[in-house]
Structure 1
């Protein structure tokens, strides 16, 4: 039984030793693994979980697997970085000659002296520099004036215990009530103080060559250490880790009892320790001056931290939204129409298992399956409101809280209600206008057709009347009686001549009655036949003459048939009827595209002839019809009938009219 107890104890001891050995194993990261340099000056972890290494060749972001380095090429403007500090969604960076704020991929630069420490106290950032303390303002660094012993001395650390500020300088340790307006400045001790820790209302301070100091109520207790050239002290897993640039690390418990040493003789390959850091998974990181970084992974995690996730980049049509001037309303990004291609990149950090981080997302719907892909492209999105959500899960099955991004893709203007209603209204107005114009056009066309029909009907009526009035029945009766008388008297030559003239006249009238126009030479021939017969049959003697002064040949000029005959008949029957030496002159001439015609007689005058006329006189009716025919051919002022008066005596009548000049070519 006792032997069995020894065996059980032996196995338990072996297991515990194995676990401790595993937990004390350090993994080394150097240039070969992806670091830009083996000289590490500081190590921090940002709010997302990335580990950041400061070195003499810039800063490096590490997610447990991949390295991304920022140096002069990326806009850092310096390579030697002294201190780092996370600050919300940015990273504070101190260097040998400047101070930077990194936000996303952009750097804001402030001119400064060498930065030895960065302290965030009461939402304010204080910088310990090579000469005094500076406060970070919105767009500049403001030096703080305390006293010359602080203002002109390198500041190594600044801490706040809730009531007082503790300032470790290269020459002393100071206690100050207010850094901005100090009333109490108390020097606690003279020494080269390198770092400060506030623990259980105690100030634990490391000095370069005077060991570890514990200050309680301004009383100093010295903890002697074998470590020389102390760089700083950190509280790691309820232990104090004292590290040196030349003597490695000495570990003490909370009662300041020695636990162990970590140096090149037992664990590491160097004693040049520059910094120590413990991350949120309780892994311990050791930065060195010549061997890169050592990591002691926490194999005995009692707590599994909930992972954090954040958007690393959001692009709209391949451009990050930080570079695009989009509007936002109540936290919702307003995206113009057509910009409907979005890409999201997101990240969650598990330093110990970087390849076992899984993601899922949703867009206004259900979550997608878990996958290792930390980006998604959403193309050809329709207009509307969207909420993109993403969640992560680490190897220990812990899930992050989902994060959300809201955006709204605007509709094209032609799909908006106001535009559609406007288009419909305009379309209705346009349709109404077109319909109105169409109806108006139809009415105008119909009106024109009616007017045309009325004119045509009127012209047909006039033509019919003109045909009916072309030849005076009395004239025909007189001609036939004359032919009979010539036959009875045996005047055969005169009889044949008269019959020939009369037949030519009738044939001419019949031929032209079916035509709208005849040439002027035919019309003149018809007029000569008619006037010759009138001369032969008339009881009064008269002469006539026809004159033409035209720019064209008479055969080329067109004129409505029997348009002049009624005026000649009127002159013969009423104007020169009782004149012993009657005379009729007919003139044709053209002026400015008009054919002018004049019928002049030396009769009794138009007014006297009207008194002598009968109301149903054939010539009067023929004149009336002919006037209307002329008016329909041209304007109302194109015909005039006037008396010829000389020395207050009527010398005859002049008829003048004009019609548009028409030719047959």
Structure 2
């Protein structure tokens, strides 16, 4: 009996080998939503040898573009039908072990036994540390099943949803929404709830360890770990008993239902939930450890296994009716990616400054069955380019203006996809903008007007300066003329000449000669300096000495004089206006010491801080008393007035002072002091 049993087993295995030998052949029949025998025998196995990160595949999903994503115990793998691209913690994902995957719009949600993260715009973002069992994007909310109840994705964190303590404290394996109510599969029961946030109606449908939920039009199908398949119809629960244990989930494939297990392979049920066949290591695969089943947009069936990678049952239509959609993978401006790449429409214009006129577009269409037969064409405001397999384009040095970049794809000679568009606007450079030109013109006119104003003002100031200078020069000439006219007192000349006559009559030849010599020297000095603006201090002192000596001879009361110089320069090097000191000395002689005996006059010259200082000191009756004795318009008063004006016109910092010297209220004399800028002949 044992011998016959062994022969039967041997014949059965030989039959399986014949079936497996046909694994690389593909049928050409039209698509039948129910997989047939030829499809079971026509599959392809992808493992690490083909590019997967690991042979232990945990979950499968497909994104909006058409990429397939495989989660494994070592990371995440993306597949376009030809090439694999792997992502691990080194590439940015939060954990290598992937327990759940879901895709919605441009986002991929990734769950692991200890974290949750999102991939969006070609980058991964870690959200929170949780043990994730399932991810369910429903309407505009992403719900996450964990080992401790349900969470929803909020702004950068997972927010817990408090529904029922029997749900909140247990592991949630699946969440589905039928349009009115939420169905929740936990390890303790199957639940039906009206709202996940603040629920009003909570119904426990059946107890048990439920692993997945499948929603039909009027039925809810739920798989249990070891209690068969539950069908909920009009509030009644019926059980479909199957031989498969450790059921991981159930999927609808065509018109059949495939229950898969991590230990017993796949059990296929007909549309009426009757047994159809088994798919396991004895008749098809090399393993019974199935972790997920996924039907892609081209009706290919993907089987994830625990140790043997992933198996693909190919769609027998060869995708003849499939038109892959196209999307932008990346858009760069000056080699920097923009924040969002969802621009499938004319509802947004991307504005760029003038210097950012270099754009690069990367786009992709995915056809899992014909990955190498996709071609693209694009246009920028004009006509389309020729079809090409190149999926990127660089647009450099674009001129200012509004642009619409359009691109579409097709597979071989099939119908092309709908085009996608990206509108952008490059602003004009600042110097080309109308307002800038007007502003620049106004600014230039303002500058020109300003310079014209400055030029006119400069001319006016120059003219005014010339007028003032001419006025000063005219005034100085007038003063000089007055000074020349008043340099020699006619009365003094008359007295000197009478004195000379008297000396001649008296026969005092020697005194006569000395007087005539001094007088001629004084007259020569006055005549020589009358045409000069400046003379040396030595000449001025010599003229003063001649003048005072003659006054001594003519005076009825004898007096003495002293001229002192305390200078840092030689008197020959210092220049001074001619006859500037003589009027003050004359005033001292005629009014200060005229009526006293033993009169004394001291004249001091010294320099200090670039100024020449002069002091005329006498021991006469004092300035105030002498002023009472003087006539209002005598020669000395007018000479002093003119001399004061001459000094003031020599500079803004010149000064002159008259001081009456006193001691114990007794008048001791007068001091005249003035300073003028120190001027040299070098």
* Superposition TM-score tier, normalisation by shorter sequence: 0.7 to 0.9
Equivalent residue for 2:33? none
For 2:235 and 2:636, how far apart are their aligned partners in 1? 149
Task: Rate the CA distance shift 1:211–1:467 in 2: closer, same or farther, 3 A.
Answer: closer
Q: 1:310 to 1:541 in 2, by over 3 A?
A: same
Cα distance in structure 2, aligned partners of 1:121 and 1:623: 112
Check conservation: 1:605, 1:644, Cα contact below 8 A: no
What's the counterpart of residue 594 of structure 1? Answer: 613
Shift of 1:595: 0.2
Residues 497-540 of structure 1: CA deviation (Å, up to 9, x unaligned): 4543443333333333344444555445444544555676x5x7
Matches within 5 A, 1:140-151: 140=158, 142=160
> Is 1:283–2:277 an aligned residue pair?
no
* 1:254 match: secondary structure: coil
Contact 1:558 1:661 in 2 (8 A): no
How many pairs were matched up? 630
Q: Mapping of 1:70-469 within 5 angstroms?
A: 70-74=87-91, 76-96=93-113, 100-104=117-121, 105-110=123-128, 112=130, 115=133, 118-119=135-136, 134-136=150-152, 138=154, 139-140=157-158, 142=160, 180-182=199-201, 184-187=203-206, 196-199=213-216, 201-202=218-219, 232-245=249-262, 248-249=265-266, 253-254=270-271, 262-264=279-281, 267-301=284-318, 304-315=321-332, 318-322=335-339, 343-361=360-378, 368-377=385-394, 389-395=406-412, 397-405=414-422, 439-440=456-457, 442-469=459-486
Please say which of residues 583-592 and 29-38 is displaced more in the overlay: 583-592
Pair 455,598 (structure 1): closer, same or farther in 2 beyond 3 Å: farther
Deviation at 1:51, TM superposition (A): 0.8
Asked if 2 retains the 8 angstrom alpha-carbon contact of 1:541 and 1:582, the reply is: no
Deviation at residue 34 of structure 1 after TM alignment: 0.6
1:37 is displaced (CA, Å) by 1.4
Partner of 1:287, secondary structure, is strand
Partner of 1:610: 631
* Structure 2: distance between partners of 1:173 and 1:563: 126
Q: 1:599 to 1:627 in 2, by over 3 A?
A: farther
Give the match for residue 19 of structure 1: 28
Q: In structure 2, what is the Cα distance between the partners aligned to 1:457 and 1:185? A: 121
Which string of whole-angstrom CA distances, capped at 9 and with x for unpartnered residues, describes residues 460-505 of structure 1?
Answer: 2333343344445676677667767877887655554454344333
Cα distance change, pair 512–158 in 1 and its aligned pair in 2 (3 A): closer
Tell me which residue corresponds to 1:36: 53
Q: Displacement, 1:548?
A: 2.5
Q: CA deviation at 1:282?
A: 1.7
**Pair 80,448 (structure 1): closer, same or farther in 2 beyond 3 Å:** closer
Report the TM-score, using the length of structure 2 for normalisation.
Answer: 0.71
| Cα distance change on mapping 1:528 and 1:602 into 2, 3 Å | farther
1:470–1:646 Cα change, 3 Å: farther
Change (3 A) 1:256 1:445: same
Q: Once the two structures are superposed, what CA deviation does each residue of 1:322-356 show, in whole Å capped at 9, x if it has no partner? A: 59xxxxxx966676786666554433211122233
Alpha-carbon separation, structure 2, partners of 1:575 and 1:78:
116
Q: 1:252 to 1:652 in 2, by over 3 A?
A: closer
1:354 is paired with a residue whose SS is coil
How much does 1:280 deviate? Answer: 0.9
Shift of 1:82: 3.5
Secondary structure of the residue that 1:35 maps to in structure 2? coil
What does residue 6 of structure 1 align with?
none
**What is the alpha-carbon distance in structure 1 between the residues aligned to residue 645 and residue 183 of structure 2?**
124
**Structure 2 residue aligned with 1:45:** 62
Between the aligned partners of 2:396 and 2:548, the Cα distance in structure 1 is: 100
For residues 414-456 of structure 1, give each alpha carbon's deviation from its aligned partner in whole angstroms, at most 9, with x where no partner exists.
9988888888777777776666566555544433332332222
Question: Which deviates more from structure 2 when the two are superposed, residues 371-380 or residues 415-424?
Answer: 415-424
Change (3 A) 1:229 1:490: closer
Counterpart in the other structure of 1:10: none
Stretches of structure 2 that go unaligned for 5 or more consecutive residues are: 1-24, 30-36, 341-346
C-alpha deviations, 1:536-575, integer Å up to 9, x for none?
Answer: 6x5x744342212442487676544334555666788899
Q: Name the CA distance, whole Å, in 1 between partners of 2:603 and 2:200.
A: 123
Matches within 5 A, 1:434-583: 439-440=456-457, 442-471=459-488, 493=510, 496-519=513-536, 522-530=539-547, 541-552=556-567, 559-565=576-582
Hey, what does 2:32 align to over in structure 1?
none
- Is this contact kept in 2: 1:264–1:270, CA < 8 A? yes
Deviations 1:105-136 (A, max 9, x none): 32445555562x555556665666667x6353
SS of the residue aligned with 1:658? strand
Mean Cα displacement is larger for which, 627-636 or 586-595?
627-636
C-alpha distance 355-534 of structure 1, shift in aligned 2 (>3 A): same
**What is the CA–CA distance in structure 1 between the aligned matches of 2:441 and 2:51, rounded to whole Å?**
65
For 1:230 and 1:646, locate their aligned partners in 2 and report how far apart those are by CA, in whole Å: 134
TM-score of the two chains, using structure 1 as the length reference: 0.73
**Pick from 659, 668, 674: which aligns with 1:658?**
674
Q: 1:244 to 1:566 in 2, by over 3 A?
A: closer
Task: Mark the CA change 1:147 to 1:217 in structure 2 (over 3 Å): closer, same or farther.
Answer: farther
Deviation, structure 1 residue 410: 7.4
- Once the two structures are TM-superposed, the CA of residue 294 in structure 1 deviates from its matched residue by 1.9
- Residue 584 of structure 2 contacts residue 616 of structure 2 at CA under 8 Å; is this kept in 1? no
- Please say if residues 644 and 656 of structure 2, whose CA atoms lie closer than 8 Å, have aligned partners that are also in contact: no
* Whole-angstrom CA distance in 2 between matches of 1:298 and 1:409: 46
